[in-house]
Amino acid sequence: MPDDRRSLPERDRGLLWHPYAPLAGPAPYAVEAANGIRLALRAPDGRGFEAIDAMSSWWCMVHGYRNPALDRAVFDQMTRFSHVMFGGLTHEPAVQLAERLRRITPEPLQHVFLADSGSISVEVALKVAIQYQSARGLPERQNFLAFRGGYHGDTFAAMGVSDPVGGMHAEFPGQLAGNVFAPRPPAAMLTAGRLVGDDAALAEWAEEVAVLVARNASRLAGIIVEPVLQGAGGMHIYDPRCLRVLRELADAEGLLLMFDEIATGFGRTGKLFAAEWSSEPVPDSAVSAGAAGPAAAAAVVPDVLCVGKALTGGYLSLAAMLCSAEVAGVISGSRFGALMHGPTFMANPLACAAANASLELLESGDWAGRVAGIQSGLTEGLQAAASLPGVRTVRSLGAVGVVELHQPVDVPAATEAGLAQGVWLRPFRNLVYAMPPYLCSVGDTVEIAAGMVAAAGRVGGP
């Protein structure tokens, strides 16, 4: 037994690495309990806080903590078996989950690879594209087109398609090279239920991307982007018509179009998948570069889709890569005949059981109504932030609310300000944002907005 009368945060500090934080940085808060939308926290100095988790534990805990249905699903599976290898074996939770994912995603996506985290599903997606091109006799197609300001994970290949500055490409020059970065897509604003962007900005952007693709097509395997909302790369909401531009360019050059919906999937943006926003009508005049057509109706469908984060309702680490029958067919006819990946904890039964229970809750509940309620609460509550000194813009989409500041946030001070209002926030760079659990009532959302307004007042030094 450790003889240690120091507090948990003190024992942690200097021993454990935390995400993107120095070993001896500010001591973390200890979680003593979690229930529904609330965390019971102990500050490093011993003070206790009860706070709404406005982060959903980094965007995944959509049904809240200690959810009875999820608790039961994981426990029941544990009484059968917690894990088995997936080589040569299968099990009910995995098959059921794959069937569910196939049913709720667009029809062309037919085949499922269950990976152990979002980053790994992105790695698998990139491998799929390279194997696909190689099987078509184009082995020189090894690189990818991605957006500036994107985020696709922390493993090397995923980092290599993330924003070159935010992804710290300069820190790892030997590992990350050769990918092509398109400008950040032009912003869109939610107006009367539609995501509206500027036609001229879209046309100019489309022109630039078309040139980039044409110049590099012979070495590109695919295009990978986060549809409509760039998350960790800056909480940027963009014109969904950009997705149609990418679809056209990918088709013209034989590139795979890959959507990373790890953050946006399962209702976060107000649609079950964010790519559904691209079904908005497009004015004839809007898009140049041969992209898009007249008022289109069908949403853009990718060749490859990654989902994660909220997949298990935040209970366990799991992600999935889905691909079209066409892509799977080409890979099946290749030299290996297989997708060359297979982690130890592939299709972990506990994680699959949690995912099945989470998707069942989504399908049987009114997630769309709840997300709409959160959206209106955040939109209204954040109006108070718009006029604060130091605030550049305020925006929201679905269960996502963002206050963008002119200066970087003083994170410890902003955290304290949020906690004083009963809200757990984790701002980054110049962004104070919330991605609340869908469980939040409109009243909870108003509290969250108040916490964000308080946190947004804590701007770092010049």
Ligand X SMILES: *Cc1c(COP(=O)(O)O)cnc(C)c1O
The residue ranges that bind ligand X (CB under 6 A) are: 117-119, 122, 151-153, 226, 231-232, 260, 262-263, 308-309
* Cβ-based nearer residue to ligand X, 155 or 379: 155
- Residue 58 assigned to a binding site: yes
Residues 6+ apart with CB under 8 A from 404: 235, 391, 392, 393, 394, 395, 430, 431
The single residue listed with the structure tokens 């943006």 is 269
Q: Known binder of ligand: residue 422?
A: no
Q: Residue 381 is encoded by which pair of tokens? A: 């509550």
Measured between alpha carbons, how far is 324 from 68 in angstroms, rounded to an integer?
A: 35
The verdict on whether residue 205 carries a ligand-binding annotation is no
| Residue with Cβ nearer ligand X (153 or 436) | 153
Q: Measured from the CB of residue 401, what is the shortest distance to ligand X in angstroms?
A: 17
Q: Cβ 215 to ligand X, closest distance in Å?
A: 26
Identify the active-site residue in 53, 127, 163, 309: 309
- The active-site residue out of 3, 4, 20, 284 is 20
119 is in an annotated binding site: yes
Burial category of 118 from C-beta neighbours within 10 Å (exposed 0-12, middle 13-18, buried 19 and up)? buried
- Taking the C-alpha atoms of residue 401 and residue 376, their distance in angstroms, rounded to an integer, is 10
**Secondary structure in 3-state letters for 220-281:** EEEEEECCCEECCCCCEEECCHHHHHHHHHHHHHCCEEEEECCCCCCCCCCCCCHHHHHHCC
Beta carbon nearer to ligand X, 60 or 452: 60
The single residue of 151, 238, 433, 438 carrying the catalytic annotation is 151
CB of 332 to ligand X, least distance (A): 26
Rounded Cα–Cα distance for residues 230 and 235 (Å): 5
The verdict on whether residue 71 carries a ligand-binding annotation is no
- Residue closer to ligand X by CB (options 229, 331) is 229
Q: How far is 197 from 190, CA to CA, in rounded Å? A: 9
Query: Are the C-beta atoms of residues 249 and 211 closer than 8 Å to each other?
Result: no
Q: Is 260 a catalytic residue?
A: yes
**Nearest residue by C-beta to ligand X?**
118
Q: What is the closest distance, in whole angstroms, from the C-beta atom of residue 446 to ligand X in the complex?
A: 26
In the residue annotation, 151 being an active-site residue is answered as yes
309 marked as part of a ligand binding site: yes
Q: Is 29 a catalytic residue?
A: no
Both tokens of 45, joined, read 């100095």
Q: Which is nearer to ligand X, 117 or 143 (CB)?
A: 117
Q: How far is the CB of 216 from ligand X (least distance, A)?
A: 23
> Tokens 């894990």 appear where?
83
Catalytic residues: 20, 151, 260, 309
Annotated binding site for pyridoxal 5'-phosphate: 118-119, 260, 343-344
Q: Can you say which residues are annotated as belonging to the binding site?
A: 58, 118-119, 151, 260, 309, 342-344, 426
Residue ranges of the binding site for substrate: 58, 151, 309, 342, 426
